[in-house]
Amino acid sequence: MLTRPAIPADAGSIAEIYNQGIEDRVGTFETQPRTIDQIRAWFDATGPLGPYPIVVTVDAGRIVAFASTSQYRSRACYGGIAEFSFYVARDARGRGAGRAALAGLIEAASAAGYWKLVSRVFTENTASRKACAALAFREVGTYLKHAKLDDVWRDVVVVERLIEENLK
């Protein structure tokens, strides 16, 4: 598997993978499928450090996973912190594609100058939690009844990873 920076032409594959995650109800509170144009807009989003990094994992010429960053908070003091997410195509799960995408995202975020990545993971999403733990993310705590998905309260674990070289 190869991980590389995503480009706008990848939006169709990213949308397909993200929409599988939305349908499966295991990784996001989102319920409405994303369009290619909505994903393309991610490439126009910029923060205090420039464009938000997005990476894809390619296996046998096909995009099988992606990881992306977005704004954490609007206050200037949080400019070096990015929120992240990562998703894997259904037929590629369990083979390390998500971990590869997340590792590539850490590198891209470091190169862009971020000092911390943060996210929230459903407590029962053991695959994502294991991938985060393998890449030195720390589970900070649990938000109980963080939001409802399909009228059911869901808990999430808050994860963070410091990018040490950018804390100097």
The predicted pLDDT at position 65 comes to: 98
The CATH number of the domain where 22 resides is what? 3.40.630.30
**C-alpha to C-alpha distance for 94 and 99, rounded to whole angstroms:** 10
Q: Which SS3 state, helix, strand or coil, does residue 6 take?
A: coil
For the chain, which ranges sit under pLDDT 70? none
- Furthest CA-CA distance within the chain: 45
**Structure tokens, 87:** 């998703």
The predicted pLDDT at position 168 comes to: 80
The predicted pLDDT at position 143 comes to: 98
The predicted pLDDT at position 23 comes to: 97
Q: Which residue has the tokens 């070096």?
A: 80
State the Cα torsion 17-130-143-53 to the nearest 10°: -50
Q: For residue range 54-80, list pLDDT tens digits in order.
A: 999 999 999 999 999 999 999 999 999
Domains identified in the chain, total number: 1
Q: Which domain holds residue 54?
A: 2-166
